[in-house]
A = this chain, B = another copy of it.
Amino acid sequence: MERYLQIIEEAIRSNAWKREPNGLYEPIEYVLSLGGKRIRPCLTLMACNLFSNDLTDAVTAGLALEVFHNFTLLHDDVMDKADTRRGYPTVHKRWNENTAILSGDAMLVEAYRILSGIKSPKFTEVLDLFTKTADEVCKGQQYDMEFETRDDVSLDEYMEMIRLKTAVLLAASLKIGAILGGATDSQAQLLYDFGIYVGLGFQLRDDYLDSFGDPVIFGKKIGGDILCGKKTFLLLTAKELAHDKTLDTLNNLLSLEDKKDNQKKIDGIIEIYKVLGVNNRCEEACLTLNNKAVQCIKKLQLPDNKSILFTDFANKMVNRKK
């Protein structure tokens, strides 16, 4: 894993970012220099390496996927009016909104430019999956924004939103690596499905930790999602389970908007989650997704030393403490 990360970091560094006009490309280099775990390109290399020792095209595809992912962060931050990303000012804060829009556009084009460097005869198959996935990620972001102002979001709709917004890109990163490594269709599809389960589990774990994480390990304040009224797995499950007095209490707590009521709101809603057993349901859902992910890997019948890379990864994503 460490070796894959090094390969990716080197690929990011050696791409030609210093181009004119500086005002267009510097923000792109900036976004990519802020780090991140490079999960998607690492998955591409991991998947490719299951079937081939030649990682050249997988590095190209991985770089394109990482650039695409960072493009979505850049534009999402504009739409969400986020001031910081990974502890640094977002592009629209450090430069301005127009720069963030246009550099983002150039970044999406750059992702396609990089992807087109793939030499494999599988290129068009990879390109089509990349484009389908990019479209799905846009859909996911659209649903996410629409959910903010809707009060009738169902748990199924939420799962579909996080599948589109988060899981499909992880899944595509794996499948693209597999395709380039020479996997069969069914092997590539098993890795795709693995990515979907891990992606969904990752997001549910995120929802869980926001209310039930250990604040010391988690490193963030508990209850952020509750205060910003986010429709998470926890809240949507609570709404489906709560009746009568509990539902009234939940709705009353949700309607609190005064800052001085913040702690009361967080504590009250977490208490309801516990009473309804929403925390347990979320943990169970994570466990189920993790198991499904592991099943996909088992079906691939890999040697143990290769299997473990993937099952470890699933575990890290879905059972993480922070």
Write the residues of chain A forming the contact surface with B, with a CB cutoff of 8 angstroms.
20-21, 23-24, 75, 78-79, 98, 101-102, 104-106, 108-110, 112-113, 116, 123-124, 127-128, 131-132, 134-135, 138-139, 141-143, 145-146
Is the pair B108, A23 in contact by a Cβ cutoff of 8 Å?
no
Q: Which of the residues B79, B116, B128, B146 comes within 8 Å of A23, measured between beta carbons?
A: B146
Q: Which of the residues B24, B78, B124, B134 comes within 8 Å of A139, measured between beta carbons?
A: B24
Is the pair B128, A106 in contact by a Cβ cutoff of 8 Å?
no
Contact of A134 with B109 at beta-carbon distance under 8 Å, contacts A75-B101, A79-B102, A146-B21 already known? yes
Contact of A101 with B102 at beta-carbon distance under 8 Å, contacts A116-B127, A124-B123, A135-B110 already known? no
Residues from chain B with a CB closer than 8 A to the CB of A127 are 116, 127
The chain B residue with its CB closest to the CB of A76 is: B102
Contact of A21 with B143 at beta-carbon distance under 8 Å, contacts A105-B138, A108-B108 already known? yes
Contact of A131 with B113 at beta-carbon distance under 8 Å, contacts A21-B146, A146-B21 already known? yes
Is the pair B23, A138 in contact by a Cβ cutoff of 8 Å?
no
CA distance A112 to B142 in the complex (A): 20
Is the pair A106, B135 in contact by a Cβ cutoff of 8 Å?
yes
Residues from chain B with a CB closer than 8 A to the CB of A98 are 79, 145
Q: Which of the residues B78, B116, B128, B142 comes within 8 Å of A128, measured between beta carbons?
A: B116
Query: Closest CB of chain B to A155's CB: distance in Å?
Result: 18
Is the pair A102, B124 in contact by a Cβ cutoff of 8 Å?
no
Residues from chain B with a CB closer than 8 A to the CB of A123 are 124
Query: Closest CB of chain B to A231's CB: distance in Å?
Result: 15
Residues from chain B with a CB closer than 8 A to the CB of A135 are 106, 109-110, 113
Residues from chain B with a CB closer than 8 A to the CB of A134 are 109, 112
